[in-house]
Amino acid sequence: MSRSARPLLFAGLLATAMLAAGPLIAQGKPAPKPAAPAAGAAAAQPKKLGLGREALPEEIKAWDIDVRPDGHGLPPGKGTVKQGDEIFQTQCASCHGEFGQGNGRWPVLAGGQGSLTSDRPEKTIGSFWPDLSTVFDYVHRAMPYGNAQSLTPDETYALTAYLLYLNDIVKDEEFELSDKNFTSVKLPNAATFYDDDREKTEKGFWGKEPCMVNCRGEVKITGRAAVLDVTPDSKTAPKVD
């Protein structure tokens, strides 16, 4: 679907002058891939068009606020559990509760450790999240809900420290979290995440020739949406947040 070359219509230009055709992008449908895309995805490297302009360092600095597990992106700063507690009570507790227990249907931020194999897991920072960097990154970019990106780096360090305290990951109210000691803090559930393995563990879903005739005996209805008791205010009803 490269642009077909067209004569330029500007007066004074030779009728034979041609617009450079755009990059020739392979249009053939890629063969369906059962696995992740092949490394390098052998598409021809498109030609540079010379569009856009260089991003200035101040512009990158303004938007580049993300933090990775290795600490890449952490801004200079620090904050203690105690400072975090004060900020949390004024900025966060109205939704998340004084101790991160969650008000109403707002997310629970603390507790639930050891519940992941139970019938109703409580997935919180302490019980579930793998990386502390995510706490800093998410709070800094998206909280407080409705007033995002209003927290300073120091306030974010303090809140992160308080959340560690609420989850019994640090025990000392004087604990100070900073860009210097940040990556030394490990969350309890870090080791339990692994990359998508469906192609191995669910291999049996591929290549079957399904039964078409007389496939089973008697069929019984075992569950009905109309009689399932879903309590809208229930803590155990499914939640999207």
Partner 1 sequence: MTSSKTSPALSRRRFLGAATAAGAGLAAAGSARAEAPKPDPLITDVQDWNRYLGEGVDKRPYGTPSRFEKHVVRRDVSWLTASPESSVNFTPLHELDGIITPSGLCFERHHGGIADIDPASHRLMIHGLVDKPLVFTMEDIKRMPRENRVHFLECAANSGMEWRGAQLNGCQFTHGMVHNVMYTGVPLRVLLAEAGLKPNAKWLMLEGADASGMNRSLPVEKALDDVLIAFAMNGEALRPEQGYPLRAVIPGWEGNLWVKWLRRIEVGDMPWQAREETSKYTDLLADGRSRRFTFFMDAKSVVTNPSPQAPLKHKGSNVLSGLAWSGRGTIKRVDVTLDGGRNWQHARIDGPVLEKSLTRFYVDFDWNGQPLLIQSRAMDSTGYVQPTKEELRKIRGTNSIYHNNGIQTWHVKANGETENVEIG
Q: Cβ(73)–Cβ(141) under 8 Å?
A: no
Closer by beta carbon to partner 1, 80 or else 143: 143
Instruction: Classify the phi-psi angles of 223: left when phi > 0, otherwise alpha if psi is within -120 to 50, otherwise beta.
Output: beta
Shortest Å, Cβ 77 to partner 1 = 19
Closer by beta carbon to partner 1, 132 or else 177: 132
Closer by beta carbon to partner 1, 15 or else 60: 60
Residue 34 half-sphere exposure toward CB, CA atoms < 13 A: 9
Closer by beta carbon to partner 1, 171 or else 224: 224
* Calpha distance 110→10 (Å, rounded): 67
Q: Name the helix (H) or strand (E) containing 176.
A: strand 176-178
Beta strands 176-178 and 78-80: pairing type?
Answer: antiparallel
Shortest Å, Cβ 236 to partner 1 = 10
Shortest Å, Cβ 13 to partner 1 = 20
Shortest Å, Cβ 75 to partner 1 = 15
As to burial, measured by CB atoms within 10 angstroms (0-12 exposed, 13-18 middle, 19+ buried), residue 138 is: middle
Shortest Å, Cβ 48 to partner 1 = 6
Closer by beta carbon to partner 1, 14 or else 211: 211
